[in-house]
Amino acid sequence: MSAHQATPTAVLLLSCRDRRGLVAAVSDFIFRHRGNIVHADQHADPEEDLFIQRVEWQLDGFDLDRQEIAGAFNVVARRLGIAWSLHFSDELPRVALMASKLPHCLYDLLVRWRLGELRAEISLVVSNHREVEPIAREFDVPFHHLPVSRETKDECEERLIELLDETDIDLVVLARYMQILTDRVIDRYAHRILNIHHSFLPAFAGGRPYHQAHHRGVKLIGATAHYATAELDEGPIIDQDVARVSHRDSVGDLVRKGRELEKVVLARAVRLHLEQRVVVYGNKTIVFD
């Protein structure tokens, strides 16, 4: 926890049609119950007539038990037509990491988790190959091998759903998992499956983007973290970054530089999601960083 979070905090994420008095109403609710706001940020989208807010306050001194907050705030929410969710900083989300043969994103996330940079419980690692099993073992995380093929895809997806449900997973991170998930998985965990694409989307979507970029002679390459949707590589974008390249760079150089970007961008996106800083609306996100 950061310095201001020496005691647990509560986070409200809310959205509704824009109107006067929304910030005042939420602030007044927290004030009337003796809460101390430590972060508050909001965004109004005039094109969509939409108001989105993230507000975080300390639970120390708040005169409602955490079990009572939802019911009390719902009175305000119903009156103003607010859609909302409530989270607590000391309740660790349960995360599943999925990877194929390339281990760089998986290893990076596990290292950051061990160092305390990601406030979560990484509950399992799933792969369609056994190459990353030693990494999971190194970090004492249960490993599950699902050997996906055309013949076994349905069976493996059914087992994946069972694993995620049995472990009560809150977030699935595709850390260079090179299989396409079907709609039944995507829909079941809507906006809870986070993917890293080794391209600055929407440019060079699909496979082998570094080869596409090299062939095109680009001067910038990038990486994109987004929520997985049924439309491949079209989900709401959480974070992106770029690196400069030149005619001197080979495909191998682009791949090497790209992998560094992938690790950083994915880790940032995971942290933002875990800290309840991302709100999805339509096919876009508001990121309160």
Residues known to be catalytic: 233
Distance between CA 197 and CA 215 in Å, rounded? 18
Say how many C-beta atoms besides its own lie within 10 A of residue 36's C-beta: 15
Q: Which residue has the tokens 């049609």?
A: 17
Q: Judge whether 17 and 70 are in contact, CB under 8 Å.
A: no
Q: Judge whether 123 and 96 are in contact, CB under 8 Å.
A: yes
Distance between CA 278 and CA 8 in Å, rounded? 20
φ/ψ of residue 139, rounded to 5: -100, 10
Taking alpha carbons only, the member of 284, 193, 184 closest to residue 237 is: 284
Residues in contact with 83: Cβ distance below 8 Å, sequence separation at least 6, in sequence order: 14, 15, 16, 77
Which token pair is 212? 């596409």
